[in-house]
Chains A and B, each alone.
Chain A
């Protein structure tokens, strides 16, 4: 009895505020835009009873989905969000791996401090950290100033408001999410495994590819999912750092909702984005559960 009380409080909360809203999003994605409050039709009318449900259901259709799939704007936005997320995930992995590897090999007494230094930026505002790059990347910004003073370039580079700036922003913002799982899996590797590999005739760089890297794959996977999934739906970074030609679906959804006030279409965009992300999200949860099982 008490058990059910304990379960029901967080369960009901999540059902009401997380699961039910998705059904509402789905329902509205089948509705039509209207100049009303709320700005969609039909709305459900309780006073009509059962026949009301019938007329209500008959007015729903998949029109918005056809619209999304016919307009190349949306398809491009999905596709470019996925490619930008994939490329930046790969870049983040390239940068994070040597850092995590160095941290795992650092003297034991430094490691807690190093981990804290990786986490610390995560505690400071995401928005502020993205904002910091505007001042650095813009035409008269600090990076161009620095490079021109060194004489490396004579003309300022255009980085801000390009896709390059979006890559930089994603890599920078999500770097801790990649370093931490990598470090966790690298740190667990028993050093005598490497000694054993070398003892059996494998030079260090080979031992790395034969022993260290395969053992760190769970961390690599966890890190990649943790970067890829939220980066696909990212809004702040493409909005602040990207240009008008940088299409990302999160930004499209935002504009559709706040600027065009088209709630049904933005709901349909959200439903499709969710369907696109279901595969990586489920794979990620599988990976996590496998790790937890193996850890016990």
Chain B
């Protein structure tokens, strides 16, 4: 597709304006002096300092972070295993059900997933809290992780693994020395995706949680229902800022890696002459 026209440029510009203006306004109004969200009272960072005093929000943030780290690690391991099963192990009894189980959580309405997990925990008679939220998040994130890793495995030349075995590496060694390093970027993005999904989730966590494990989205939600407050704007701005920095950092490091590769190649070329 070529021939970039004014129509194309305008649609992109309007589309991105629609995507970004609400976020931008939210960020700007987090620096508003006035408590009334719509009235501009001058620049101020007072809502950020009042955040630091809000212990409920801070402890919720800490819970969320811990849940996200543990559940995304679990989800990445399970998701990578699932992707390998789907791509590398051809037919086995129950494969159709398995691929359905990987696929369904991707589109399942959160209220259903959340409710069913809660009822499971009740039936199993476990105390709900930190670990039940971790399990809930790991369960739906692992499917996203599996999809990400699966996509990489599909365009992975299987003969590379065969070559490793042919040269004497048993399956587990082949996986650790050859497969894993090659799919590493997709495993990392699977982790990042699981991490943000966990950070973001309100509905499933609300069902799966118990006393003492209130996550940040739950806290934000309960305050948002009472109306817009600059404090929530400030929390949101911090979260947006962290994610943006993360994404920029990730793209910067990959760019630097490819630049380094280019330099290496030039150096080798120079040496070869």
Interface residues of B (CB under 8 A from A): 1-5, 7-12, 14-16, 18-20, 22-23, 25-26, 29, 37-38, 78-79, 81-82, 84-85, 89, 92, 94, 98, 100-105, 107-113, 115-117, 119-120, 122-123, 135-136, 139, 142, 146, 154, 171, 196, 199-200, 202-203, 206-207, 217, 220-221, 224-225, 228, 232-233, 236, 239-240, 243-244, 246-247, 251
Within 8 Å by CB of B3, from A105, A118, A230, A266, lies A105
Question: How far apart are A251's CB and chain B's nearest CB, in angstroms?
Answer: 9
Pull 16 A–B residue pairs with CB atoms less than 8 Å apart, ordered by A: A3-B89, A6-B89, A7-B85, A21-B119, A101-B11, A102-B12, A121-B23, A128-B240, A131-B220, A132-B23, A145-B38, A175-B15, A232-B109, A235-B203, A281-B107, A292-B154
Contact assessment for B104 and A25 in the assembled complex, using a CB-CB cutoff below 8 Å? no
Contact assessment for B119 and A234 in the assembled complex, using a CB-CB cutoff below 8 Å? no
Of A50-58, A60-68, A72-80, A184-192, the segment with at least 4 beta carbons within 8 Å of chain B is: A184-192
Residues of A within 8 A of B85 (CB): 6-7, 10-11
Contact assessment for A117 and B16 in the assembled complex, using a CB-CB cutoff below 8 Å? yes
The A interface, classified by DSSP as helix, strand, loop or mixed, is helix
Contact assessment for B247 and A116 in the assembled complex, using a CB-CB cutoff below 8 Å? yes
Q: A219 at the A/B interface (Cβ < 8 Å)?
A: no
Provided the pairs A99-B12, A270-B116 are in contact, do residues A10 and B228 lie with their beta carbons within 8 angstroms? no
Provided the pairs A116-B247, A135-B29 are in contact, do residues A102 and B8 lie with their beta carbons within 8 angstroms? yes
A20-75 residues with Cβ-Cβ distance < 8 A to B are: 20-22, 24-25, 28, 38
Question: A13 CA to B134 CA in the complex, in Å?
Answer: 13
Q: A9 at the A/B interface (Cβ < 8 Å)?
A: yes
| Mask of A245-279 contacts with B, CB within 8 angstroms, 1/0 | 00000100110011000010011001001100100
Within 8 Å by CB of B243, from A17, A101, A123, A179, lies A123
Residues of B within 8 A of A266 (CB): 115
Q: A98 at the A/B interface (Cβ < 8 Å)?
A: yes
Contact assessment for B15 and A134 in the assembled complex, using a CB-CB cutoff below 8 Å? no
Residues of B within 8 A of A22 (CB): 116
Question: A186 CA to B22 CA in the complex, in Å?
Answer: 28
In the complex, which residue of chain A has the Cβ closest to the Cβ of B13? A102
The B interface, classified by DSSP as helix, strand, loop or mixed, is helix
Residues of B within 8 A of A104 (CB): 1
Q: A200 at the A/B interface (Cβ < 8 Å)?
A: no
Contact assessment for B115 and A17 in the assembled complex, using a CB-CB cutoff below 8 Å? no
Question: How far apart are A246's CB and chain B's nearest CB, in angstroms?
Answer: 15
Residues of A within 8 A of B101 (CB): 11, 14-15, 18-19
Q: Would you list the 4 A-B pairs with minimal beta carbon distance, nearest first?
A: A233-B109, A21-B116, A102-B8, A98-B11
Contact assessment for B200 and A106 in the assembled complex, using a CB-CB cutoff below 8 Å? no
Question: How far apart are A136's CB and chain B's nearest CB, in angstroms?
Answer: 6
Contact assessment for A175 and B243 in the assembled complex, using a CB-CB cutoff below 8 Å? no
Question: How far apart are B127's CB and chain A's nearest CB, in angstroms?
Answer: 13
Q: A217 at the A/B interface (Cβ < 8 Å)?
A: no
A130-178 residues with Cβ-Cβ distance < 8 A to B are: 131-136, 138, 140-142, 145, 172, 175-176
Interface residues of A (CB under 8 A from B): 2-3, 6-7, 9-11, 13-22, 24-25, 28, 38, 95-96, 98-99, 101-107, 114, 116-118, 120-121, 123-129, 131-136, 138, 140-142, 145, 172, 175-176, 179, 186-187, 189, 191, 194, 225-226, 229-230, 232-236, 240, 250, 253-254, 257-258, 263, 266-267, 270, 273-274, 277, 281, 284-285, 288, 292, 296
Residues of A within 8 A of B25 (CB): 132, 135-136, 142
Question: A107 CA to B4 CA in the complex, in Å?
Answer: 7
Q: Most B CB atoms within 10 A — which of A15, A118, A126?
A: A126
Q: Most B CB atoms within 10 A — which of A20, A105, A106?
A: A105
Residues of A within 8 A of B239 (CB): 124-125, 128
- List 9 other contacts, CB 8 Å, given A179-B15, A229-B107: A10-B85, A11-B101, A15-B101, A99-B15, A131-B228, A194-B1, A257-B115, A273-B112, A281-B107
